[in-house]
Structure 1
Amino acid sequence: MQRISIAISLISILLCSAILTRALPDEPEFGYDEDSANGPQHWGDIKEAWAACKTGQMQSPIDLSRNDVQVIPKLWGLKYWTYNPQYATLSNRGHDVAVDYLRGDAGSIDIDGSSFSLVQIHWHWPSEHTIDGRRYDLELHMVHVSPQPDGTNKTAVVGVLYKYGSPDPLLSKVEQYLGDIPKENEEESIGEIDPSEIMSGKMFYRYIGSLTAPPCTEGIIWTIDKKIRSVSRRQVELLKDTVLKPYAPGNARPLQPLNQRNLQLYLSKKPLY
């Protein structure tokens, strides 16, 4: 009887261990804790394809400092654009929450004669870019792509910064779905989402940088709206509660050196969109 009891106890322990193992999320490939072995300073060492995270000279995000900026009194090279309501899905990518447009007619921007179609919107908390050293509470990225003849894509990202205040209209449209995608790589259809809910200002920073997460690909055209919008604390907390716990405290990459890149501030008489 004693042997049977011991065997039963061992089986119970093994079962409990297996259940706990399944319940715990896998260690993410990369993280944002600077004291972690997979933190931002180690991204370039984790995979050979991520080497640019360590060796790149045009990395993002950066501080948008008035001391480094060249002021241009018109939006040369960037035409006005219009965004359209389009069907989308909301997904939990583990390290962030993203809105993906199902078709390519959610709108586009024209930069130096090339058309870039809006394909995705996602969020970082706190903001990744800073303005004159100030970090804000949230940053939205509108990812646009332009297919090239060789089968690759050129990428342009419009960044929008937020501080705590009244709720953000776009997040107000999607927050009801956040609780339905608690697991990584799950997605939820959310009907039509209008990108024009993201109201624009009349001043924009422009520079050439990189993706702010691995593989840190360079050559990304960044346009950062100088107008600061508002978002409620509750909306940011909902975003945090959706992603994997290792990313919940924050998913903002540390600032990268400017390395003598051109940083421009464009002025316009009317909003871009």
Structure 2
Amino acid sequence: MHLKNHFSISILLAISLTILFYSTLTTALDEPEYGYNEESADGPKHWGDLKREWAACKGDMQSPIDLSNERVTLIPNLGRLTSYYKPQYATVSNRGHDVAITWKGDAGSININGNEYFLQQSHWHWPSEHTINGRRYDLELHMVHVSPQQDGTNKTAVVGILYKFGLPDPFLSELVKYIVEVPDEDEETNIGVIDPSNIFKDSNMYYRYMGSLTAPPCTEGIIWTINTKIRTVSRGQVKLLKNSVLKYYANKNARPVQILNQREIGVYDSIMADNIPHY
């Protein structure tokens, strides 16, 4: 009887330890490294203190910002922003805080100041991170581009597209069946060939400024281009994105606007630029 009781106790202890392990693991996975609740200890105001590698989050060139008409400067020589995208195989992934589309080969590029920036991935924020004259929109898409440098580093340029509620967005409509079955966090699903030009082709009017990544590590030196054309997205499409990520981020995954400091916000308007006399 003594051995039997000892064996039973050992089995119960092993089961308890197993349950505790998986419970702890699940809790750890559900607790993100940073959050968007401005009142919480891991909120945007504290990102720069959470990790040494995130110190840039306390920098002077942070994103997003408010694109105020009072602060912008017309810069005709910025030129039209034209993309040179091409269809390429892509994957969809749930990164916990957002849903991302990643192209696995050469999906084309944009040209900024004579440098080519190659498209890497796109992801969404709700509500929008950038505001225009104080107005925050319902969704923002970021198209992340990278330009390899000779010293082995990369320069990053992000194109931002703002959306308000209205008719469904055609690109999201194309992805619905994949987002519904988006994999668990940090896993990817192949979604076949995706043409980035279905998202963005070119822009005759946009804002341009120097900023940062809008999430840790908040790396600065990012070239931001925000298209002034506001697109539409359905409430159902935004809800679909929200339901695909960790519950911690379902309500909001947008960083508050940051202080502009002494930065210049350039704006390009093709109509005004074409009407400026050249001597």
Give 1:83 shift. Answer: 1.6
Aligned residues: 266
Q: Identity across aligned pairs (percent)?
A: 62
Give 1:22 shift. Answer: 4.4
Contact 1:117 1:145 in 2 (8 A): yes
Q: What aligned pairs does 1:95-174 form with structure 2 within 5 A after superposition?
A: 95-104=97-106, 106-174=107-175
Residues 189-198 or 61-70, more deviating: 189-198
Q: What aligned pairs does 1:196-211 form with structure 2 within 5 A after superposition?
A: 196-199=197-200, 200-211=202-213
Summarize the Cα distance change of 1:102–1:8 in structure 2 as closer, same or farther, 3 Å threshold: closer
If the length of structure 1 is used for normalisation, what is the TM-score?
A: 0.89
2:49 maps to which residue? Answer: 45
1:69 maps to which residue? Answer: 72
For residues 77 and 228 of structure 1, what CA distance do their matches in structure 2 show? 20
Q: What aligned pairs does 1:167-246 form with structure 2 within 5 A after superposition?
A: 167-199=168-200, 200-246=202-248
Residues 15-24 or 58-67, more deviating: 15-24
For residues 150 and 9 of structure 2, what CA distance do their matches in structure 1 show? 68
Summarize the Cα distance change of 1:79–1:241 in structure 2 as closer, same or farther, 3 Å threshold: closer
Q: Tell me which amino acid in the other structure corresponds to 2:53.
A: A
Residues 135-144 or 23-32, more deviating: 23-32
Give 1:181 shift. Answer: 2.5
For residues 128 and 97 of structure 1, what CA distance do their matches in structure 2 show? 16
Give 1:10 shift. Answer: 7.7
Give 1:214 shift. Answer: 0.7
- The CA RMSD over aligned residues, in Å, is 2.2
Summarize the Cα distance change of 1:70–1:164 in structure 2 as closer, same or farther, 3 Å threshold: same
Structure 1: unaligned runs, 5 residues or longer: none
For residues 85 and 172 of structure 1, what CA distance do their matches in structure 2 show? 17
2:88 maps to which residue? Answer: 86
Q: Tell me which amino acid in the other structure corresponds to 1:220.
A: I
Summarize the Cα distance change of 1:157–1:6 in structure 2 as closer, same or farther, 3 Å threshold: same
For residues 121 and 38 of structure 1, what CA distance do their matches in structure 2 show? 25
Summarize the Cα distance change of 1:78–1:149 in structure 2 as closer, same or farther, 3 Å threshold: farther
Contact 2:209 2:263 in 1 (8 A): yes
Kindly provide the CA deviation profile for residues 190-240 of structure 1, in whole angstroms up to 9, marking residues without a partner as x: 111111112454210000000001111111000000000001111111111
Kindly provide the CA deviation profile for residues 142-179 of structure 1, in whole angstroms up to 9, marking residues without a partner as x: 10100001111000000000011111111111121123
For residues 59 and 27 of structure 1, what CA distance do their matches in structure 2 show? 25
Structure 2: unaligned runs, 5 residues or longer: 272-279
Q: Secondary structure at the match of 2:145?
A: strand
If the length of structure 2 is used for normalisation, what is the TM-score?
A: 0.87
Larger Rg over CA atoms: 2
For residues 169 and 136 of structure 1, what CA distance do their matches in structure 2 show? 18
2:274 maps to which residue? Answer: none
Q: Secondary structure at the match of 2:78?
A: coil
Q: Tell me which amino acid in the other structure corresponds to 1:263.
A: I
For residues 87 and 11 of structure 1, what CA distance do their matches in structure 2 show? 46
Residues 198-207 or 61-70, more deviating: 198-207
For residues 3 and 102 of structure 1, what CA distance do their matches in structure 2 show? 56
Residues 14-23 or 128-137, more deviating: 14-23
